[in-house]
Structure 1
């Protein structure tokens, strides 16, 4: 009597069921289990790609969101312009009718810089003055001296500010590179103080953000392959490049059971050109894939009884069939990888039916 059982292969369970609805169980041993009458249902061994994946909704965004907070108290007289790309020497916003200027560097502006000051913030300032064209006669080092003061005055005159030769706390904001303004957190005429978020910036590198369950943590590893179907219907390839901590980006906290993932698309900014950032994208995370392997429906795999055990396929030939031992591999989308010396593309195999 034939009986259907179940298998566990490649991390995917095929449920054990009764006669006619699972994997056949045969007694005996050897590579072939004799000949039998052909099964009522058959399938063909095909060569194809197998992919284990998960698809979730996502949206177009920019990488590395972070809040820019006011260093001093004041009134916003020119608010940040959402969507703007701000580069070195340009104003992010204005406070008390004075521009707060973007400069490049990893160390934040944490104090007033004037003659006698020393430190990495001074070094950053001098590098920016040179890059902006105001560094004549300036030796770039961590020391704020008279040459630095003169360079600062030239820069201040270009901004139509009083040439004090000092850079006050709150006059500049250091960021690693140019930024995109993704949100104005303070509006025109708002009163802000130290630690008040004035705007949220991000890298100019576009990404797609998606949320996964915490049980999908392996998919959040950097380098995980991703396929994104953009709102226009265009499909782009990409890779996971990081996860987001909402409390650090000024965004609402994600559910405790969720992980927000950033995906960088191949092609950079051109990949999302013209796309509607407010529309939903479809994000497919690929956890494992096998290309060009021989596969059959999972219901075709037979659990072999006996001392040797293992799995087999019921090969259909003419008016009969025979059992052939196979090695199983990855399982995805109802199909399973099979291999063996007698397994070839195009052969017909028996398949369990309800």
Structure 2
């Protein structure tokens, strides 16, 4: 993974003057030694810049050309940006099996790459469609408005009178029967009927329609498909059952008003069929159909040690094969780091002493999504480069980093190309500057003695 890292120079010189860089601060006076010391300091600065990941070597200038020791460059005005570039992979994201609850023989399967939206069939089992709806809850039970009955209420006669006959003496019984809720005790004894109803709800007798968050989720989908006439709530009512019958008729299914657990599968939105794990004629299994997102996205195995750019909501630019670019957003960042490729290959054997084990940082999965799918063109998969611009400084003075010299009294300076230039300050042949953002081998500089167009020397 390629990562362009930028840093910021401190006003205090110790970062570049540390013994690790083998440098000595430049001292005023004794010009011959000052210049010699400057040469050593600049050479060390190049090493230090490389160690900090700032480029080093001979960076290209904005107007072309190469910075060489002993040469001169001009102080220019422009924009500096911290930019991170990492490798990613364009595709449809991870594959997951559909949680199909149906049992029986597979009689139809979609082809790989097919898109399925709400209300579409993901497969057919015993020639019944298994329909895709949108939601987070899985389909785990049958949904209906039919009451459950206790054995005592199914028996003939009894103190309640009419048993489960449709149209008994209770004027509300006909309505219950029409709704498919039968088995209520009849008779004219209102108090007795109320007591029977109460005891049936406490015990194993008549229970009301199915209720719960899964009902609301289903009703919301049913309404979105255009089957209305009921209130979207937590209760599977008689009116819901009537809408289900209309939906079942359109699907060519028996019009029962009951939704079986195997009739539906839920996903977060439209899906793309990634692969099928069975053949037509085989028994349905948990791996019958696997799916991925219907929208293209980019996945990045980001280094766990360099995650500053990978913050949810950050806007990024993705460079596609061929040079085109698209704008995306960091959608999700994994919570767990995976072992580096070298660690995984070595199997974590401490005694192996193998090649490359642990040579790379652990990685964290990062997903980038795109609001404009057309901006990705027709490409469905392939390697891409993800670029993120962090801090940015506009309209600032900049010089190549290798032009900076650490001063003994603190801070950094520049050497004017003309040693007798009026810009020279009390530091001898150097102009003291304040440093800011560093990016692409250039540093932001400011101060009373530095100006746009000023020519400075890169010491030998």
Range class of TM-score, shorter chain: 0.7 to 0.9
Distance across 1 between alignment mates of 2:73 and 2:404: 11
| Residue 24 of structure 1: how far off its partner (Å) | 8.0
CA RMSD of superposed structures (Å): 3.5
Secondary structure of the residue aligned to 2:217 is helix
The reply on whether 1:163 has 2:255 as its aligned counterpart is: yes
Contact 1:63–1:207 at 8 Å: present in 2 too?
Answer: yes
What aligned pairs does 1:270-289 form with structure 2 within 5 A after superposition? Answer: 270-274=374-378, 276-289=379-392
| Residue 47 of structure 1: how far off its partner (Å) | 2.0
Contact 2:16–2:406 at 8 Å: present in 1 too?
Answer: no
Contact 1:206–1:269 at 8 Å: present in 2 too?
Answer: yes
**1:156 to 1:284, Cα distance in 2 relative to 1, 3 A:** same
Distance across 2 between alignment mates of 1:198 and 1:182: 7
2:298: which partner in 1? 208
Secondary structure of the residue aligned to 2:243 is helix
Distance across 2 between alignment mates of 1:75 and 1:278: 34
1:301: which partner in 2? 404
The reply on whether 1:323 has 2:353 as its aligned counterpart is: no
| Residue 296 of structure 1: how far off its partner (Å) | 0.9
Contact 1:149–1:166 at 8 Å: present in 2 too?
Answer: yes
Distance across 1 between alignment mates of 2:71 and 2:22: 13
Contact 1:44–1:347 at 8 Å: present in 2 too?
Answer: yes
Residues 23-71 of structure 1 deviation map (CA, whole Å, 9 limit, x = unaligned): 8832249xxxxx9899932211122332333323323234686542222
1:124: which partner in 2? 217
**1:176 to 1:278, Cα distance in 2 relative to 1, 3 A:** closer
| Residue 221 of structure 1: how far off its partner (Å) | 0.9
Distance across 1 between alignment mates of 2:321 and 2:420: 52
2:27: which partner in 1? 27
Q: Can you give the 5+ residue segments of structure 1 that lack an aligned partner in the other structure? A: 1-6, 30-34, 248-253
Contact 1:80–1:199 at 8 Å: present in 2 too?
Answer: no
**1:246 to 1:82, Cα distance in 2 relative to 1, 3 A:** farther
Secondary structure of the residue aligned to 1:133 is coil
Q: Can you give the 5+ residue segments of structure 2 that lack an aligned partner in the other structure? A: 1-6, 40-69, 146-208, 338-342, 345-360
1:47: which partner in 2? 77
Pair member with larger Rg: 2
Normalised TM-score (structure 1): 0.78
Normalised TM-score (structure 2): 0.62
**1:8 to 1:227, Cα distance in 2 relative to 1, 3 A:** closer
Residue among 70, 74, 93 paired with 2:123 = 93
Query: If each structure's helix is expressed as a fraction of its own residues, which one has the higher value?
Result: 2
Contact 1:227–1:236 at 8 Å: present in 2 too?
Answer: yes
